[in-house]
Structure 1
Amino acid sequence: MANAGQKNRLVAVHLDESIGRGPPDIEHERAVAIFDLIDENSFAPVGKEEGPYKLNLAIAERRLIFDIRKEDDTEVMTHILSLSPFRKIVKDYFVICESYYDAIKSGSPRRIEAIDMGRRGVHDEGSRLLQERLQGKIEVDFDTARRLFTLVCVLHWRG
């Protein structure tokens, strides 16, 4: 683990399962994002004791719920974030992802690369927005915000 000695980090991430599972491509994105997130992250609830932390992510009533706990499940904080500002970015990201997965099946390498560049750009935009919206509540670095944004998209998946 790249940041095992660091205290302000996540050691476990759980996604609310009430929304069901997505198709294999989405589930793969989820698994990779969780693995990468746990492997290397910077996560610090502002004004709280040092971690490490467990994170439960859920969506309820168009809000993203961060249920943050210590390793022993002691509650640290719950932060609720409106998803309204993310609606267009998430929608754009899913459209680009569908194009990307279609292109992988039958597209030219040049087309796949162009779509992937667009996909990464939209993903970066969503990651920056998430980082901004968490500012003052939960401090995360850009790579952690990227992985969390992937999970936000997975939680948005409605099948």
Structure 2
Amino acid sequence: MDDVTRQRSKLIDVELDESIGRSTPDIEHERAVAIFDLIEENSFQPVNDDGNGPYKLKLSLVDSRLVFAVSREDGTEVVTHILSLTPFRRIVKDYFMICESYYEAIRTSSPSQIEAIDMGRRGLHNEGSQTLMDRLAGKLDVDFDTARRIFTLVCVLHWRG
């Protein structure tokens, strides 16, 4: 992929629905880092919209569904995709539990215990990212790293205040 195509096949802005309240400092940190990392490096292309980006993404939850509202740099709407959250429920629930253990371990556990918990956390995060890629197939083309960062934001949407 050449540089021009790469610049057009990416996100330049990510917004989370305004109704999402603030949460704990750890979760707010995860949110800020995920958005920063996602904007810095991503591969994002609505299917059948070749080379017409860059794009903006607004993520929200509506009636227990995940909404991806994609627009162009000038705000022109491109597409909206709505995904059921059912395939993510177990993964997100398990991810929350292991994240709580991880944050507690950082304060009280040995480096080897922290590393073991973190390996489990990364494994669940990878599983959620792959599920997201599978659910977006045929709708939005994203690479695995982009899916990982978006999955973090999906978790943040659940992690309301």
Decide: shared fold, TM above 0.5.
yes
Which secondary structure does the structure 2 equivalent of 1:136 belong to?
coil
Aligned residue in 2 for 1:153: 155
Instruction: Name segments (4+ residues, structure 1) moved above 3 Å.
Output: 2-5
Q: Secondary structure of the residue that 2:8 maps to in structure 1?
A: coil
Contact 1:53 1:68 in 2 (8 A): yes
Q: Secondary structure at the match of 2:124?
A: helix
* TM-aligned CA deviation for residue 5 of structure 1: 5.4
Match of 1:96 in 2: 98
Percent identity over the alignment?
A: 68
- Given that 2:42 and 2:143 are in contact with CA atoms closer than 8 Å, whether structure 1 keeps it comes out as yes
Please report how far the alpha carbon of residue 102 of structure 1 lies from its aligned counterpart in structure 2 after TM superposition: 0.1
Q: What is the CA RMSD across the aligned residues, in angstroms?
A: 1.5
Name the amino acid aligned to 2:81.
H
The one-letter code of the counterpart of 1:26 is I
| TM-aligned CA distance change 1:3 to 1:157, over 3 Å | farther
Q: Work out the CA distance in 1 between the residues paired with 2:17 and 2:128.
A: 21
Count of residue pairs brought into register by the alignment:
158
Aligned equivalents of 2:72 and 2:34: distance in 1? 21
**Offset of residue 105 of structure 1:** 0.4
Pairing of 1:62-101 with structure 2 (within 5 A): 62-101=64-103
Unaligned 5+ segments in structure 2 are none
Q: Relative to 1, partners in 2 of residues 1:54 and 1:117: Cα closer, same or farther, differing over 3 Å? A: same
Residue by residue over 1:92-115, the C-alpha shift from the partner in whole angstroms, topping out at 9 and shown as x without a partner, is: 000000000000001111100000
What secondary structure, in the 3-state scheme, does the structure 2 residue paired with 1:28 have?
Answer: helix
Cα 1:3–1:147 shift into 2, 3 Å = farther
Moved more, 41-50 or 99-108: 41-50
Deviation at 1:17, TM superposition (A): 2.3
Name the structure 2 match of 1:138. 140
- Distance in 2, matches of 1:10 and 1:106, equals 38
- In the TM superposition, 1:3-152 aligns within 5 A as 6-49=7-50, 50-152=52-154
Deviations 1:59-93 (A, max 9, x none): 01110000100010000011101111000000000
